[in-house]
Amino acid sequence: MSLRVLSVVSECVPLVKTGGLADVAGALPGALAGHGVEMRTLIPGYPAVLAHIGKRARKVADLGALFGGKAVIRQGKLGDTVLYVLDAPHLFDREGSIYLGQDGNDWPDNPERFAALSMAAARIGEQGVGKWVPQVLHLHDWQAGLTPFYLKRRGAAERVKTLLTIHNIAFQGLAPAKMLNRLELPSEYFDHEGLEFYGKISALKAGLVWTDKISTVSPTYAVELMTPEFGMGLDGVLRERRADLVGILNGIDTDVWTPPFKTPRGKVRARKALRKKMGLPDAKGPLCVVISRLTEQKGLDLLLDALPTLLDCGGQLALLGSGDAELERAFHAAAGEHENVAVRIGYDEALARDLIAGGDTILVPSRFEPCGLTQLYGLRFGTLPLVSLTGGLADTVIPASPAAMQSGVATGFQFHPVTRQALEQSLTQMCETFRDPKTWGKMQQNAMAQAVGWDISAARYADLFQELVSSA
pLDDT digits (tens, 9 = 90+) for 233-251: 999 999 999 999 999 999 9
Distance CA 247, CA 163 (A): 12
CB atoms within 10 A of CB 342: 22
| 136-140 and 161-166 beta bridge pairing | parallel
Query: pTM of the full predicted structure?
Result: 0.94
Distance between CA atoms of 225 and 276, rounded to whole angstroms? 43
What gap in Å lies between CA 296 and CA 300, rounded to an integer?
6
Rounded Cα distance, 353 and 388, in Å: 22
Alpha helix segments (H runs only) across 170-315:
203-210, 219-224, 228-231, 235-240, 267-278, 300-312
| 437: preceding bond cis by omega (within 30 degrees) | no
Is residue 56's pLDDT more than 90? no
pLDDT of 472 above 80? no
β-bridge mates for residue 7, sequence order: 41, 138
Q: Establish whether the linkage from the previous residue to 14 is cis, with ω within 30° of 0.
A: yes
Average pLDDT across the chain, whole number:
96
Residue 77: pLDDT band with limits 50, 70, 90: very high
How far is Cα 446 from Cα 409, in angstroms, rounded to an integer? Answer: 6
151 secondary structure, DSSP code: H
- Residue 20: the pLDDT is 87
CA distance 22 to 104: 20
Residue 163, pLDDT > 80, answer yes
Q: Is 17 annotated as a binding residue?
A: yes
Report the interhelical angle of 437-449 vs 420-434 (nearest 10°). 110
Compute the distance between CA of residue 165 and CA of residue 142 in angstroms, rounded to an integer.
9
Reported confidence tier of residue 418, pLDDT bands at 50, 70, 90: very high
E strands, 128-268, in order? 136-140, 161-166, 174-176, 196-197, 200-202, 213-216, 245-247
Does domain 3-251+455-470 bear CATH number 3.40.50.2000? yes
Is residue 293 predicted with pLDDT exceeding 80? yes
With a cut of 90, say whether residue 19 has pLDDT above it.
no
Rounded alpha-carbon distances, angstroms, from residue 344 to 94, 287, 291, 355: 28, 15, 10, 11
Local confidence band at 96 (pLDDT 50, 70, 90 cut-offs)? confident
Confidence of residue 55 (pLDDT cuts 50, 70, 90): confident
With a pLDDT cut of 70, the percent of the chain lying above it is: 100
**Mind listing the pLDDT tens digit for each residue in 318-346?**
999 999 999 999 999 999 999 999 999 99
Sequence letter at residue 159: R
Q: In the chain, what percentage of residues exceed pLDDT 90? A: 95
Q: What dotted CATH number matches 264-449?
A: 3.40.50.2000
Considering only CA atoms, which of 440, 313, 316 is closest in space to residue 383?
A: 440
Query: CA 149, CA 155: separation in Å to the nearest integer?
Result: 10
Are 3-251+455-470 and 264-449 equal in CATH topology? yes
Locate the domains of the chain by residue range. Answer: 3-251+455-470, 264-449
Helices assigned H by DSSP within 279-348: 300-312, 325-337
